[in-house]
Amino acid sequence: EGMRKTLEQFSDAVVCIEYCPRAMYELGFEPVGILDFFLSRGYYLYSLSGSTMPTPTDRAVLQSKIRDNEYVDLLFSKRALST
């Protein structure tokens, strides 16, 4: 609820998160819930790597690439980024 209100107030905010499904499950959260939260609000989804520009991605790609203990840094933006 708090994140929703903040993003409504700052509609151009760009959000970065560390997405680790296993840790989210252990904390009682449904990992795809955070993806759905942003995607349903029209955010573009990118994966981040230390040495490259943000790479466009989607739920299916993330779920196929992340193994049990792995994580990926994600960026959500209302505007498409140059890649």
Amino acid identity for residue 75 in this structure: L
Return the pLDDT at 9. 93
List, for the chain, all residue ranges whose pLDDT scores fall below the cut of 50. none
Residue that is written with structure tokens 């929703």 in the block: 4
Return the pLDDT at 83. 61
Return the pLDDT at 63. 82
Q: Which residues fall within 8 angstroms of residue 83, CB to CB, at 6 or more apart?
A: 46, 53, 54, 55, 56
Compute the half-sphere exposure of residue 3: CA atoms within 13 Å on the CB side of its CA. 8
Six token digits for residue 21:
């499904």
Return the pLDDT at 39. 95
